[in-house]
Amino acid sequence: MSAGAVVVAAGTFLNGVIHVGMRSRPGGRSGEPPSAGLTESVRELGITSGRLKTGTPPRIDGRTVDYSKLAVQQGDSEPWPFSFFTKRRLRNRVVCWSVKTNAETHKHILGGLDRSPLYTGKISSAGPRYCPSIEDKVVRFGERDGHTLYLEPESLGNCELYINGLSTSLPYDVQERMVASIEGLRGARIMRPGYAIEYDYFQPLQLRPTLESKIVGGLFFAGQVNGTSGYEEAAGQGLLAGINAVLGLRGEEPLVLGRDVAYIGVLVDDLVTKGTEEPYRMFTSRAEYRLILRQDNCDERLMPAAFRLGTVTAERYDERRRFWDRKREAAEALGGVRVPAGSAVGGGVSARDLLKRPETGIDGLAREVGVIGEMLALRGGEGGAGGVDTADVLDDMGIGIDTDSAEKSDIDTIEVSGIDRHLALGVESDIKYEGFVRKQTREIERIRRYEETKIPDGFSYDDIPGLLTESRQKFKKIRPATLGAASRISGATPADVSVLAMYLLKRK
CATH number at residue 105: 2.40.30.260
- Report the alpha-carbon distance of residue 365 to residue 334 in Å, rounded: 10
* Residue 26 CB-half CA count within 13 A: 7
The confidence score (pLDDT) of residue 21 equals 97
Residues 6 or more apart whose Cβ sits within 8 Å of residue 123: 19, 53, 117, 169, 196, 198
Query: Could you tell me if residue 402 is inside a domain?
Result: no
Residues 6 or more apart whose Cβ sits within 8 Å of residue 135: 109, 112, 113, 116, 118, 119, 168, 169, 170
CATH of the domain at 467: 1.10.150.570
Domain count across the chain: 4
Give me the residues paired with residue 151 across strands. Answer: 97, 163
Same domain for 322 and 425 = yes
Length, in residues, of the chain? 508
Task: Identify which of 197, 199, 202 has the alpha carbon closest to the alpha carbon of residue 42.
Answer: 202
The confidence score (pLDDT) of residue 447 equals 80
CB count within 10 Å of CB 308 equals 13
The confidence score (pLDDT) of residue 396 equals 60
Task: Identify which of 11, 52, 49 has the alpha carbon closest to the alpha carbon of residue 30.
Answer: 11
Same domain for 167 and 204 = no
Same domain for 218 and 103 = no
Same domain for 267 and 171 = no
Cα 412 off chain centre by: 30
Same domain for 275 and 166 = no
Same domain for 249 and 170 = no
Same domain for 76 and 182 = yes
Same domain for 204 and 187 = no
Name the residue range of residue 251's domain.
6-54+200-287
Same domain for 117 and 85 = yes
Cα distances (Å, whole numbers) of residue 157 to 93, 167, 225, 399: 12, 23, 31, 11
Asked whether 334 and 350 are in contact (CB, 8 A), the reply is: yes
Query: Could you tell me if residue 401 is inside a domain?
Result: no
Q: Given 193, 225, 253, which residue is the final one in a domain?
A: 193
The confidence score (pLDDT) of residue 379 equals 64
To the nearest 10°, the Cα dihedral for 33, 167, 124, 141? 180
CB count within 10 Å of CB 432 equals 18
Same domain for 174 and 114 = yes
Tell me whether strands 95-100 and 148-153 are parallel, antiparallel or unpaired.
antiparallel
Q: Given 435, 466, 499, which residue is the final one in a domain?
A: 435
Query: Could you tell me if residue 474 is inside a domain?
Result: yes
Query: Could you tell me if residue 391 is inside a domain?
Result: no
pTM, whole model, 2 decimals? 0.84
Asked whether 149 and 299 are in contact (CB, 8 A), the reply is: no
The confidence score (pLDDT) of residue 457 equals 85
Q: Given 166, 193, 220, which residue is the final one in a domain?
A: 193
Query: Could you tell me if residue 172 is inside a domain?
Result: yes
Give the strands of the sheet with 195-202, arranged side by side.
23-26, 17-20, 195-202, 49-56
Task: Identify which of 174, 22, 20 has the alpha carbon closest to the alpha carbon of residue 106.
Answer: 174
The confidence score (pLDDT) of residue 319 equals 94
* Residue 267 CB-half CA count within 13 A: 27
CATH of the domain at 423: 1.10.10
Query: Could you tell me if residue 73 is inside a domain?
Result: yes
Query: Could you tell me if residue 81 is inside a domain?
Result: yes
The confidence score (pLDDT) of residue 242 equals 98
Task: Identify which of 32, 55, 53, 6 has the alpha carbon closest to the alpha carbon of residue 200.
Answer: 53
With H, G, I as helix, E, B as strand and everything else as coil, classify residue 414.
coil
- Report the alpha-carbon distance of residue 206 to residue 237 in Å, rounded: 15
Query: Could you tell me if residue 298 is inside a domain?
Result: no
Same domain for 113 and 167 = yes
Task: Identify which of 122, 279, 277, 140 has the alpha carbon closest to the alpha carbon of residue 205.
Answer: 277
Which residue type does 191 have? M
Same domain for 242 and 169 = no
Which residues of the chain fall below pLDDT 70? 342, 345, 347, 379-418
Residues 6 or more apart whose Cβ sits within 8 Å of residue 507: none
CATH of the domain at 254: 3.50.50.60
Q: What is the DSSP letter of 310?
A: T
Give me the residues paired with residue 219 across strands. Answer: 6
